[in-house]
């Protein structure tokens, strides 16, 4: 395997697209997202629920979905029981889901989590595969807390531990909605701490678009430092999500 397209996409699941249903404009969000998935060799997703996964699986017969739900399989049909599934046609050898720290350790932050509806489990999905020339690759895909800096710090620390655990045996890809932008001290510190194992892919576009016109770049891709990034950018979600998908075309070295 020489070249590969890697991506990250927060599907911003809703009652409409979580069931693969038709929108008021007559467009099916599952059709849009399925056509986007087909552009990738590896796509890390966020905010997929079981109904939307099932809708996509019907449309993507050659792809497999890897990752557990944050409230577990028993409660997988809960409306907010999303996962961070890795979608790919590659032959995955094994996969696992790791729960990140998600409950604030102090009362003020815990109250904020409750009032702003951010008190929910966060996970990292891992998938492992070998390339044709014998390289061992570990994909990590995640979605961090969006409200509480102290929780984000703990989640970033957990990601660093995961990277440290596997970096000797695998080359690592990291994707996700970090709810953090470049320039944020916490995120910049994380990038610096993992720079020996991962380099951040520059994407010169906003990736999240709010209802009030707010825009941020909170979706990110990291690849091994030795890999060449041929191109990178954004793929328009065409209204299927308030996020656009991001991609990196890489040459594995």
The pLDDT tens digits of the residues spanning 192-249 come to 999 999 999 999 899 999 888 899 999 999 999 999 999 999 999 998 899 999 999 9
**What phi-psi label fits residue 77: left (phi over 0), alpha (psi between -120 and 50 degrees) or beta?**
alpha
Query: How many Å apart are CA 90 and CA 64, to the nearest integer?
Result: 8
Task: Categorize the per-residue pLDDT at 9 as very low, low, confident or very high, splitting at 50, 70 and 90.
Answer: very high
Task: Categorize the per-residue pLDDT at 63 as very low, low, confident or very high, splitting at 50, 70 and 90.
Answer: very high
Query: How many Å apart are CA 47 and CA 60, to the nearest integer?
Result: 18
pLDDT of residue 1: 63
pLDDT of residue 43: 98
Neighbouring CB atoms inside 10 A of 97's CB total 17
pLDDT of 19 above 60: no
Strand 171-177 and strand 136-143: the pairing is parallel
If you average pLDDT over each of 28-37, 54-63, 177-186, which comes out highest?
177-186
CB 207, CB 246: distance < 8 Å: yes
Calculate helix-pair angle for 149-166, 107-115, nearest 10 degrees: 100
The tokens of 49 are what? 């629920």
Phi, psi for 35 (deg, rounded to 5): -65, -30
pLDDT of 68 above 90: yes
Q: Where are the domains of the chain?
A: 3-251
pLDDT of 14 above 80: no
pLDDT of residue 183: 96
Using alpha carbons only, give the angle 101, 139, 177 rounded to the nearest 5 degrees: 55
Phi, psi for 106 (deg, rounded to 5): -125, 155
End-to-end CA distance of the chain: 10
Query: How many Å apart are CA 103 and CA 237, to the nearest integer?
Result: 31
pLDDT of residue 24: 60
pLDDT of residue 18: 45
CB 46, CB 11: distance < 8 Å: yes
Task: Categorize the per-residue pLDDT at 52 as very low, low, confident or very high, splitting at 50, 70 and 90.
Answer: confident
Please give the mean pLDDT across all residues of the chain: 91
Q: Which residues pair with 140 in a beta bridge?
A: 126, 174
pLDDT of residue 16: 45
H helix count then E strand count, the chain: 5, 14
Greater confidence (133 vs 21) lies with: 133
pLDDT of residue 133: 86
Averaged pLDDT, 114-123: 90
Q: What kind of fold does domain 3-251 have according to CATH? A: Deoxyribonuclease I; Chain A (3.60.10)
Averaged pLDDT, 47-56: 88
């Amino acid at each position: 395997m020489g070249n590969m397209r890697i991506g990250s996409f927060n599907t911003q699941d809703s009652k409409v697209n979580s069931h693969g249903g038709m929108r008021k404009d007559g467009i099916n969000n599952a059709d849009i997202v399925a056509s986007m998935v087909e552009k990738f060799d590896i796509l890390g997703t966020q905010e997929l629920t079981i109904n939307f996964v099932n809708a996509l699986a019907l449309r993507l017969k050659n792809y497999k979905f890897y990752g557990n739900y944050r409230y577990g399989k028993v409660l997988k049909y809960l409306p907010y029981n999303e996962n961070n599934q890795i979608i790919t046609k590659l032959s995955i050898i094994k996969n696992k889901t790791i729960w990140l720290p998600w409950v604030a350790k102090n009362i003020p932050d815990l109250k904020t989590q409750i009032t702003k509806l951010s008190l929910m489990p966060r996970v990292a999905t891992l998938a492992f595969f070998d390339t044709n020339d014998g390289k061992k690759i570990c994909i990590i895909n995640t979605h961090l807390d969006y409200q509480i800096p102290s929780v984000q710090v703990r989640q970033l620390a957990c990601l660093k531990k995961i990277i440290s655990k596997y970096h000797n045996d695998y080359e690592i890809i990291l994707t996700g909605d970090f709810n953090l932008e470049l320039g944020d001290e916490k995120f910049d510190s994380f990038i610096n701490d993992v720079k020996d194992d991962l380099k951040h892919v520059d994407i010169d576009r906003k990736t999240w678009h709010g209802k009030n016109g707010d825009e941020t770049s909170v979706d990110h891709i990291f690849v091994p430092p030795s890999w060449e990034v041929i191109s990178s950018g954004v793929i328009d979600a065409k209204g299927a999500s308030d996020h656009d998908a991001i991609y990196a075309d890489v040459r594995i070295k």
